[in-house]
Structure 1
């Protein structure tokens, strides 16, 4: 009976075909930053399902959880009868959902300009294009406020921002890198290396960043990595360690970019001046 029901749902979705230009009323978001964008554009009430990692704002807590980019639950998504599915291009079920006739829009956001374009796209899909500009203006205002709060002795200093202990870094070409640059910091990973490259640990040790930023747990473990006790920033605690919830905000290319910048500025303001 369950298989029969799933079959009818899939058939119904295929027959219905993709929605036209009408504003979507039943949206599935398969990426946390997209969920945040929909809500920041005042359309949280249109969400009928989200990925497992979406956790902001609190109002989405009761929504169905539909897996992640590698294991999104096709049958459950179809059963929700969405008229729009928003996802990353690398989400595995994108092609299958499209083949079933569902309207699927993919959004890539690696740079800050990508984020701005994605917000405009989502706002247009929601029938509220003007709200994207208002939202971006608020983000810009937060970035400017954060930049003014950075102590002068940190401007021009080098920074390593780790996003995975493999180690992968947020490079200058990433949306995180753009925020760091806006705050006057110099990324040890130049734009030509890509937005989120995997680095040879020796590269980081040779670069000798003045400042290290990462999630709290990996940062606490860094001194135990081979050779990393040579990093002066770790020895002198010139570090920004972010708890899980604020770290989520920092590494998501969504509407809370400005809040993330303020968080980094707060850390810099609390640190002593670097020795060199």
Structure 2
């Protein structure tokens, strides 16, 4: 009788023990009855983070441009991150959808939750947030060993870059996302944290919007010593060199107009440290040109 009671008690306790209760980056509580086995990613960086956390095999759907690593290219598509195909998501029968706060529309994941599909919102705003996302995704998908190791490696590389560059003489930087409209980032953006890591100072850190539109006059008034552009692909955008018509601009005088491919600086993944390495080296070049050793 005692043995039967013990077995019954253990069986009842198992679901509670397996339950996951998490707080996402929107401050919402997300409860999963068990680690997720079928995950739909609504942003390319989320897909990449899941693979880095050892959970790539559990991703059953992803949005357009989820192209890293190569295995991600084979995952069924559910539209773009701004135009998610809800029917396609539901058809995949996910036990969790991971959304991007800045990229997906709130009504998209609100609708999914009304259909009984849990949604976890991801929004890294700092380099440490990337490491924490890896750890969290490892918990979500029951791959903690791979995820924790990836997070440790990420933090170690970040710390090495900080040790080498963070205390170097500050360099005023304008990061240009696009030219029409002319867009940049404020101090709450992850890329601004990368600038700080490299000893850079974001000239538009004080603006209230995460990715604000600015005027050409505002850039000239901010007098950046370095301009870094991203563009849309692996090629340097032609519009970066349009700044050369302003010969008195410090970034032009110093010939400090640089390009970093967006996939290694604008994605909130471990590869952002590849972009950080490039940015740190570019800022160091600017210091050397200016004789600031």
**Structure 1 residue 215: Cα displacement:** 2.0
Aligned equivalent of 1:238:
256
Secondary structure of the structure 2 residue equivalent to 1:196 = coil
Count of equivalent residues: 255
C-alpha RMSD of matched pairs (Å): 2.9
1:142–1:262 Cα contact (<8 Å) kept: no
**Structure 1 residue 199: Cα displacement:** 2.0
Select 2:174's aligned residue among 160, 164, 167: 160
In the TM superposition, what are the counterparts of 1:35-50 in structure 2 within 5 Å?
Answer: 35-50=47-62
Change (3 A) 1:118 1:228: farther
Change (3 A) 1:40 1:178: same
Aligned equivalent of 1:14:
none
CA–CA distance in 2 between the matches of 1:100 and 1:76? Answer: 13
Q: Which runs of 4+ in 1 moved over 6 A?
A: none
Aligned equivalent of 2:67:
55
Deviations 1:229-259 (A, max 9, x none): 54231354212212xxx32120112232322
Structure 2 length as normaliser, TM-score?
A: 0.75
Q: Which runs of 5+ in 1 are unaligned?
A: 1-17
Deviations 1:154-210 (A, max 9, x none): 731111111232222123322111111111112212345454332232121011111
**Structure 1 residue 44: Cα displacement:** 0.7
Change (3 A) 1:100 1:228: farther
Larger Rg: 2
CA–CA distance in 2 between the matches of 1:157 and 1:20? Answer: 46
**Structure 1 residue 275: Cα displacement:** 3.5
Select 2:82's aligned residue among 54, 57, 70: 70
**Structure 1 residue 140: Cα displacement:** 2.2
Aligned equivalent of 1:5:
none
**Structure 1 residue 87: Cα displacement:** 0.7
Aligned equivalent of 1:199:
214
1:155–1:183 Cα contact (<8 Å) kept: no
Change (3 A) 1:145 1:114: closer
CA–CA distance in 2 between the matches of 1:257 and 1:203? Answer: 28
**Structure 1 residue 144: Cα displacement:** 3.2
Q: Which runs of 5+ in 2 are unaligned?
A: 1-29
CA–CA distance in 2 between the matches of 1:225 and 1:157? Answer: 18
Q: Does 1:173 align with 2:185?
A: no
Structure 1 length as normaliser, TM-score?
A: 0.79
**Structure 1 residue 132: Cα displacement:** 4.4
In the TM superposition, what are the counterparts of 1:204-219 in structure 2 within 5 Å?
Answer: 204-215=219-230, 219=237
Aligned equivalent of 2:33:
21
CA–CA distance in 2 between the matches of 1:237 and 1:78? Answer: 51
CA–CA distance in 2 between the matches of 1:225 and 1:266? Answer: 21
